[in-house]
């Protein structure tokens, strides 16, 4: 199977879309278009000679760049800013290529059952029924219903960048609840942004000058390179974490990263961590948080903690927010160095609402971020609706408990299915994904070997999973697989495909071992060995081939 790789060429050989609306049970292709598909640029229109004339016409009609003078792409690029042309949006990565593969051939249980299943999208679609139920029971919360339309004028006119007080208060309460009620958030320190994406960029603008660096533990969310660095020109420098300790951040790794940064003459302004981690799905223990606190205190640098997955913790170890440690003054920390990013995209499964939050203990950061928030405010209509929903404490308690229960159930179903075919995942307790260990399946233990396996998984197994290299993981063979953006049947289909893939890989491996044995036999090697020894050797090779693609489960 591995010998018949089809290299992914999403742009050069697009498949035609199936003739049905692109609404499928596990995702929305439109997400790709809105966030990551390149808008029709001159390069897409210049390659449009290979597409249909109608397609070229649509591209040129919709493209703002169609107003630009026609000419070679380089000539047009010269008319644009350095930021517009520097590639900092990071679209050219396997992370986004996988999305394109899905977009060209999206799975649908009846219309396109052999299509690509989207497992590269960290979306939480498991509890939308609860949100819809609340909306039905509370029609006055929306200005688009007869019950709520009396508020239309007020909501339509509201534009204060402090945000609706009811919204800020309700978000603060929700964040407290998602952290087990052990912390309090001051609504006056809550600043809005366009999703956590906007929050990251705003913080980078507040804390870093162009060229300044933040240290970040690997593996990390690929779009941080875009969110934190593209327009701000800040830099991210890796703190390399290893699988040997479950990718935990250690004091030694922090020191190494700081020292390496010094060698590049980068001015380190802080550390950016994600807790619970994307892609690992693990939470940081108190000890690790305290190590981080001591480090930033000693170096007088900032600590940004992205807690966007705070409400997705579903198992055992409680989620300890950085706010809990800062508030308790446990590590004798200067709290003005601590900033939290959150959003309602994951905990509530509302990425389309673009609700991002910056929470800072630093008054100057709060004030500056608030001024900057003019560029990415949450619409007052969204604030009004969510302010009402999140003020319903009975609902939010029920939602968080049920969300955790469903995530735990899906996580168990998925990891058990993998375990049954011998695939192990990093032990995790939060997030919307697993960090799957396919190291034993690599032909070559290199980044290229990882990408080779990834192409087989995307093109032949038809699952869009994301390779570890896209997350800056230094150890080849890890893959992130999302499990909360699909229904149960799609999950079962994905698991069936994985099982078939592993079985075929195992059969191919056994055949290969036998073929090699036969060759050795035929080449006359056996003439120099007693027959019984030769047979035993062949059996042992089959049973314990060091190249066996089967991963042995350890938990």
Ligand X SMILES: Cc1ncc(COP(=O)(O)O)c(C=O)c1O
| Positions that interact with ligand X (CB under 6 A) | 122, 195-197, 221, 274, 278, 306, 308, 343, 345, 351, 356
Q: Which residues, 6 or more positions from 464, have their beta carbon under 8 angstroms from its beta carbon? A: 98, 99, 101, 102, 116, 117, 118, 119, 120, 458
Q: Are 231 and 201 in contact (CB under 8 A)?
A: yes
427 in active site: no
Residue 45 or 383 having the CB closest to ligand X = 383
The distance between the two most distant Cα atoms of the chain, rounded to a whole number of Å, is 95
Smallest gap from residue 518 Cβ to ligand X (A): 50
- Catalytic residue chosen out of the listed positions 102, 221, 258, 399: 221
249 in active site: no
Instruction: Tell me the three state secondary structure of residue 138.
Output: coil
Locate all alpha helices (DSSP H) within 87-144, ordered by sequence.
94-104, 128-137
- Burial label for 322, CB within 10 Å (0-12, 13-18, 19+), is buried
Residue 42 or 122 having the CB closest to ligand X = 122
Q: Are 124 and 312 in contact (CB under 8 A)?
A: yes
Smallest gap from residue 376 Cβ to ligand X (A): 10
Euclidean distance between the first and the last CA atom of the chain, given in angstroms as a whole number: 29
Residue 42 or 425 having the CB closest to ligand X = 425
Residue 76 or 94 having the CB closest to ligand X = 94
Q: Is the N-terminal amide bond of 219 cis, ω within 30° of 0?
A: yes
Smallest gap from residue 333 Cβ to ligand X (A): 23
Residue whose tokens read 């308690």: 397
Residue with smallest beta-carbon separation from ligand X: 195
Smallest gap from residue 31 Cβ to ligand X (A): 10
- Catalytic residue chosen out of the listed positions 346, 357, 423, 437: 346
- Catalytic residue chosen out of the listed positions 105, 227, 306, 437: 306
- Catalytic residue chosen out of the listed positions 190, 308, 333, 498: 308
Instruction: Tell me the three state secondary structure of residue 347.
Output: coil
221 in active site: yes
Residue whose tokens read 């966030």: 35
Phi, psi of 106 (to 5 degrees): -70, 135
Q: Is the N-terminal amide bond of 276 cis, ω within 30° of 0?
A: yes
437 in active site: no
Smallest gap from residue 131 Cβ to ligand X (A): 16
Smallest gap from residue 491 Cβ to ligand X (A): 20
Residue 221 or 501 having the CB closest to ligand X = 221
Residue 205 or 521 having the CB closest to ligand X = 205
Which residues are annotated as catalytic?
Answer: 221, 306, 308, 346
């Amino acid at each position: 199977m591995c010998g018949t790789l089809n290299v992914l060429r999403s742009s050069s050989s697009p498949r035609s879309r199936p003739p049905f609306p692109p609404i499928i049970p596990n995702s929305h292709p439109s997400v790709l278009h809105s966030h990551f598909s390149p808008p029709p640029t001159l390069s897409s229109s210049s390659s449009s000679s290979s597409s249909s004339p109608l397609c070229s016409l649509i591209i040129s009609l919709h493209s703002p760049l169609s107003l630009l003078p026609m000419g070679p792409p380089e000539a047009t690029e010269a008319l644009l800013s350095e930021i517009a042309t520097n590639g900092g949006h990071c679209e050219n990565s396997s992370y986004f290529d996988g999305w394109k593969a899905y977009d060209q051939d999206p799975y649908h249980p009846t219309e396109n059952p052999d299509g690509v299943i989207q497992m590269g999208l960290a979306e939480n679609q498991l509890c939308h029924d609860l949100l819809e139920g609340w909306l039905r029971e509370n029609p006055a919360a929306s200005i688009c219903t007869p019950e709520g339309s009396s508020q239309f004028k007020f909501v339509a006119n509201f534009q204060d960048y402090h945000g609706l007080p009811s919204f800020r208060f309700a978000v603060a309460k929700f964040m407290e609840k998602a952290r087990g009620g052990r912390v309090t958030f001051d609504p006056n320190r809550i600043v809005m942004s366009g999703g956590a994406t906007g929050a990251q960029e705003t913080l980078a603008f507040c804390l870093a000058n162009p060229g300044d660096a933040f240290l970040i533990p690997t593996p990390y969310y690929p779009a941080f390179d875009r969110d934190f660095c593209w327009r701000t020109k800040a830099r991210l420098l890796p703190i390399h974490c290893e699988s040997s300790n479950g990718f935990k951040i250690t004091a030694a790794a922090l020191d190494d990263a700081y020292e390496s940064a010094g060698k590049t003459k980068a001015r380190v302004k802080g550390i950016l961590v994600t807790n619970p981690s994307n892609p690992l799905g693990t939470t940081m223990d108190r000890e690790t948080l305290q190590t981080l606190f001591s480090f930033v205190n000693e170096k007088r640098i900032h600590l940004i903690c992205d807690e966007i997955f705070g409400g997705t913790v579903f198992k055992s170890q409680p989620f300890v927010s950085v706010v809990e440690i800062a508030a308790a003054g446990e590590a004798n920390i200067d709290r003005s160095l601590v900033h939290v990013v959150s959003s309602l995209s994951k905990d509530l499964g509302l990425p389309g609402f673009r609700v991002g939050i910056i929470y800072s203990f630093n008054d100057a950061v709060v004030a500056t971020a608030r001024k900057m928030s003019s560029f990415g405010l949450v619409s007052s209509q969204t604030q009004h609706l969510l302010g009402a929903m999140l003020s319903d404490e009975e609902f939010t308690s029920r939602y968080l408990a049920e969300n955790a229960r469903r995530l735990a159930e899906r996580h168990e179903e998925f990891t058990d299915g993998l375990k049954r075919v011998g695939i192990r995942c990093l032990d995790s307790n939060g997030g919307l994904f697993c960090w799957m260990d396919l190291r034993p399946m690599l032909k070559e233990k290199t980044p290229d070997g990882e990408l080779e396996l990834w192409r087989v998984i995307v093109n032949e197994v038809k699952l869009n999973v994301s390779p570890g290299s896209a997350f800056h993981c230094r150890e080849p063979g890890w893959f992130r697989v999302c499990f909360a953006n699909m229904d149960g049947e799609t999950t079962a289909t994905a698991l069936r495909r994985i099982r078939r893939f592993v079985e075929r890989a195992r059969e191919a491996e056994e055949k290969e071992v036998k073929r090699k044995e036969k060759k050795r036999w035929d080449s006359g090697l056996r003439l120099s060995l007693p027959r019984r020894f030769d047979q035993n050797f062949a059996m042992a090779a089959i049973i314990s081939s060091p190249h066996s693609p089967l991963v042995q489960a350890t938990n």
